[in-house]
Structure 1
Amino acid sequence: MEGKAKNYFFKSFLTIIIAIGIFWGLKQVLPARLFPENTAPIPGIVIDSLALDAMTNDSVSMAEADSLENDTLINRIDIDASDNSEGIGNLINFYEKLYELENSGKGKVRIAYFGDSMNDGDLIVQDIRSAYQSQYGGKGVGFVGITSLSASARYSVTHQYSKNWETQSFLNVKKPKRAFGVDGQVSFVPRGSQTWLRYVANDVINSTLLYNPTLFYGSSSNHNGSVNIALGKDSSIRHDLITDRLLNTLKLSSTTKMLKATFEKADSIPFYGVNFDDGVGVHVDNFSLRGNSGLPLSLFNTDLMNALDKILNYDLIVLQYGTNVLGYGTTDYSWYETKMAGVVNHLQQCFPNASILIISTGDRAIKTDMEMKTDKAVEPLVKHQRLYAESTHSGFINLYTLMGGYGSMIKWVQENPSLANKDYTHFNQKGAKKIGGLIYDELDKGYFQYKKLKESGQIPNRIKHSDDL
């Protein structure tokens, strides 16, 4: 009996050894994708298709390589504002417009703030908007898309819409039916259906009303579309949708508290969003999409963005990305640096008079050896974000050091009250408000230094823009 047991044990042990050997042999010859060692995402983090493609293809096209030499902004100056920022003098076009506004009380300054889930529901951005508008004037929540995954979580404006809107996003569609709008989406009304939008202003400082609601939409061979604006329980006003231009605008109503728009016979017309602003002061648009690495911004149609820029006149483009390229087991972000440099140069073509600001990823903690520690990929990613800001002559704010550097996310989660969620990645509302204040303060430090140089005569009275040449 004892001999049989020993024999059985020997056979089992031999079987295991053989299986391990077969597995190891197959691993050497089968495609590496079947055994991904460094590409498993962290739960709760999603990423767009362009970033996934870039991770598996490190080659750079000649067009991308050439674009790294493009330099459309001019008249930059040296401003050393803070240990947490670099290249702030590259924001001179933005600071010039802000200076003109502050001293004349006329005109307006506009900021486009592109981001990911960190800015979901207008987090961070709404606090920067509030700070600028309180200091320099301006009312209104800015440009709001047709649909949004975070609409229900947004407090700065109530945003509702019918479920039958057909929306394409540059996160998962590379070739849309029509060009993407400035929020990275384009929406359509299904044929033969009534489709609606509803916005309500909330009790948010400087945005208690829907100021001058204006619809943005594209060209179409459909000349029969219309939109009805509800004025009360039993009355409405009808507007025809003129679709002759690449980009069309339609003022939907005067300033109001609530707006409901119902679209009829409007199929095939690309819709982009509604803008709410009072025409003076500072306005900040939030263009955040969950899962965005920043790379899909390369899909913007330059002609459409130029047309939009002639109406909205952007002075500053902010890019706050990074969350969605962490967590894939790599610390080499040279591919991301190269790709994002190409994105920034493309944005300089889309918005030629705007300064560009790069905001790095913040701290992020993961469990390592049964203990929460800063993800080892954070600092390498920040390094490469700084490098593509430098190569494209953009401003750079190091959010990682601004919030405290190594281990800071752990402290933010454990603060009482807590400033971040227990995923050790995202800020909660209190934390987002603090981050918004920190970013505004960094920009304000740069502006203070700019004014000192300006008023001492070290900066010319007029900064030339590319369209002046």
Structure 2
Amino acid sequence: KVRVLMYGASGTAADFGAGYLRLYLQHRFGDGGPGFIPLGRMNRWYRHNEVTVEASKGWRKEHAQWPKGRMDGHYGLLGASFASSSKRDWVRVLSKPEAHSAGAWSSAELQFLRQPGGGRMRVVVEGERPEITLASLTVATAADEIAPGYHAIALPPGTGAISVRPVGDGEVRLFGVVIERDGRGVVVDTLGINGTRAANQLKWNETIWRDAIARRKPALVTLSYGTNESVGGKEDVPLPQYREELEVVLTRLRDAAPDASCVLILPTDYPILDKDARELQPRPRLLEIMEIQRELGPAHGCGVWDGLAFMGGFGAMARWVHADPPLARGDYLHFTRRGSVLKSMVLSDALLLEYDWAADPSLTPVPLAAERGL
């Protein structure tokens, strides 16, 4: 398996761009399955191209960006967890009928927290119709000390959904489930959290997170942060502090996945809207953050993909918003589905550029305008 982990904020979490990359790579190199899926709904807008996640309302959502959480860092691969002690609560992951891997799931790995007093959970593997039960099992989460927990399940042919429900004898704290197909192929894990920042990774328990990363054995990890750090609000930290925190984030990542390739996906255009003057102004802090990322990425062995240059530089967002059909939304920040896919198409080509050149010597690189002196 070739596994790609894509970390980021809302642009990543929407799974439009990551979903396109998944579909494109799987079409070329084989379908490895939908990958990591959170066992809970991050918000009411949560979506994934390959699956639907349904859940009762009693789960306690926790992550570093969520002020109502325990902030203990026990969040797993995604950086989020979902906890409940009630047997009335449930979560269900269903394959979408139109999904590329529908009906062909081969394995599932539940990821959760082992903890003192942890409860048991009932896991049901459903067929393509919910009234068909293919397998049923009980998984314990109690342990003498805090640790990551995993439980592998071989999925019968025709699996259509997996559901999890606490038995009611203690807290069950879930991270997610990894769903894959047998054989060779590519898996793309969408690991985005709305509103988050790179430094929030430093609030994750490093032992639990590193263990989850090691189990995924990624070939590539992408980090797409920076826009939320540039808004100019009270949560913004001084740029020297931002630099120090990003340095630690990258150091932790390289230590956790030393054999993986790494790419920083730089922010796209995010202008300041002057409502009185009815005009858009460049956001100076965004440019400064991008410069820090450009410097630190290569210093830690990571490539850099310039989202602002891809769009067309400062001011491009207005053209994207007013394109027909629109490529970006009226908040001058988020892309439409079409815009997200376009961005991912260009990113996909950039990731595979040297691979394709090596496979076909007749292809020759075209120098950039700057290299041609234009």
Q: Which amino acid aligns with 1:283?
A: V
| Aligned residue among 121, 131, 137 for 2:14 | 121
Q: Could you tell me how far apart the structure 1 residues matched to 2:257 and 2:171 are?
A: 27
SS of alignment partner, residue 122 of structure 2 = strand
Q: Residue 182 in 1 paired to residue 89 in 2? A: no
Match of 1:249 in 2: 151
2:111 maps to 216
The alpha-carbon distance between structure 1 residues 383 and 332, as it changes in their structure 2 partners (threshold 3 A), is farther
* Counterpart contact for 1:110–1:314, Cα < 8 Å: yes
Shift in CA distance, 199/402, structure 1 to aligned 2, threshold 3 Å: same
Equivalent-residue separation in structure 2 for 1:446 and 1:377 (angstroms): 33
Q: CA deviation at 1:187?
A: 2.1
SS of residue matched to 2:296:
helix
For 1:427 and 1:210, locate their aligned partners in 2 and report how far apart those are by CA, in whole Å. Answer: 31
Name the structure 2 match of 1:320.
224
Residue among 183, 208, 211 paired with 1:304: 208
- Are 1:397 and 2:292 an aligned pair? no
- Of residues 100, 119, 124, the one that matches 1:229 is 124
Residue in 2 that maps onto 1:378: 286
Deviation at 1:372, TM superposition (A): 2.4
Asked whether the equivalents of residues 210 and 276 of structure 1 are also in contact (C-alpha less than 8 Å), the reply is: no
1:159 to 2:70 alignment: no
Residues 176 and 328 of structure 1: is their aligned pair in 2 closer, same or farther, counting only changes over 3 Å? closer
Go from structure 1 to structure 2 and tell me whether the alpha carbon gap of 1:218 and 1:451 turns closer, same or farther (over 3 Å shift).
Answer: farther
User: Which position in structure 1 is the counterpart of 2:262?
Assistant: 356
The match for 2:93 is: 199
Letter in 2 for 1:137: G
- Equivalents in 1 of 2:309, 2:174: separation in Å? 40
- Measured in 2, the distance between the counterparts of 1:130 and 1:181 equals 25
- 1:253 and 1:417, CA in 2 relative to 1: closer, same or farther beyond 3 A? same
CA contact (8 A) 1:210 1:258 kept: no
Post-superposition offset of 1:449:
5.3
Q: Which runs of 5+ in 2 are unaligned?
A: 362-374
Q: 2:319 aligns with which of 411, 414, 420?
A: 411
SS at match of 2:308: helix
Give matches, 1:15-94, under 5 Å. none
> Taking structure 1 as reference, are residues 393 and 263 closer, same or farther at Cα in structure 2, changes over 3 Å only?
same
Q: How far is 1:136 from its partner? A: 0.7
Deviation at 1:236, TM superposition (A): 7.1
Asked if structure 2 preserves the Cα contact closer than 8 Å seen for 1:151 and 1:159, the reply is no
Q: Give the aligned residue type for 2:314.
A: Y
Q: Counterparts of 2:73 and 2:232 in 1: how far apart (Å)?
A: 33
Aligned-residue offset at 1:298: 1.7
2:178 is equivalent to residue 275 of structure 1: yes
**Residues of 2 paired with 1:382 and 1:178: CA distance?**
27
Counterpart residue type for residue 408 of structure 1: A
The higher radius of gyration belongs to: 1
Letter in 2 for 1:239: L
Bigger CA drift: 163-172 or 225-234? 225-234
Calculate the TM-score normalised by the size of structure 1: 0.67
Distance 1:441 1:150, change over 3 A: farther
- Looking at structure 2, the residues matched to 327 and 223 of structure 1 have their Cα atoms a distance apart, in angstroms, of 40
Q: Is 1:419–1:428's contact at 8 Å kept on the other side of the alignment? A: yes
- Cα pair 1:302 1:349 within 8 Å, conserved: no
Secondary structure at the counterpart of residue 196 of structure 2:
coil
> Residue type matched to 1:343 in 2?
V
Who is 1:238 aligned against? 136
TM-superposed deviation, 1:363: 0.7
Deviation above 6 Å: which 4+ runs of structure 1? Answer: 329-332, 450-453
Q: CA deviation at 1:435?
A: 0.8
TM-superposed CA distance for 1:282, in Å, is 0.7
Q: Give the Cα separation in 2 of the matches to 1:351 and 1:270.
A: 25
TM-score w.r.t. length of structure 2: 0.83
Letter of the 1:208 counterpart: A
Write the distance in 2 (CA, Å) between the matches of 1:324 and 1:392: 22
- Answer with 131-140 or 257-266: which moved more: 257-266
User: Structure 1 pair 449/182, CA: closer, same or farther in 2 (3 Å)?
Assistant: same
Instruction: Output the CA distance in 2 between the equivalents of 1:268 and 1:216.
Output: 15
In the TM superposition, what is the alpha-carbon distance from 1:409 to its structure 2 partner? 0.8
Moved more, 173-182 or 387-396: 173-182
How far did residue 182 of structure 1 move? 0.9
Q: Is the 8 A contact 2:261 2:302 kept in 1?
A: yes
Count of aligned residue pairs for this structure pair: 345
With over 3 angstroms needed to count, the CA separation of the structure-2 counterparts of 1:387 and 1:348, relative to structure 1, is same
Query: Is 2:109–2:150's contact at 8 Å kept on the other side of the alignment?
Result: no
> Alignment partner of 2:200: what SS?
helix
RMSD, aligned CA? 2.8
C-alpha distance in 2 between matches for 1:183 and 1:335: 24
Identity %: 21
Q: Distance in 2 between matches of 1:236 and 1:131?
A: 31
CA shift for structure 1 position 332: 7.0
Q: CA deviation at 1:167?
A: 2.1
Q: Does 1:259 align with 2:162?
A: yes
Shift in CA distance, 159/267, structure 1 to aligned 2, threshold 3 Å: same
1:442 aligns with one of 333, 350, 373: 350
Supply the distance in 1 between the matched residues of 2:201 and 2:84 (Cα, whole angstroms): 24
From the two aligned structures, give the one with the greater helix fraction: 1
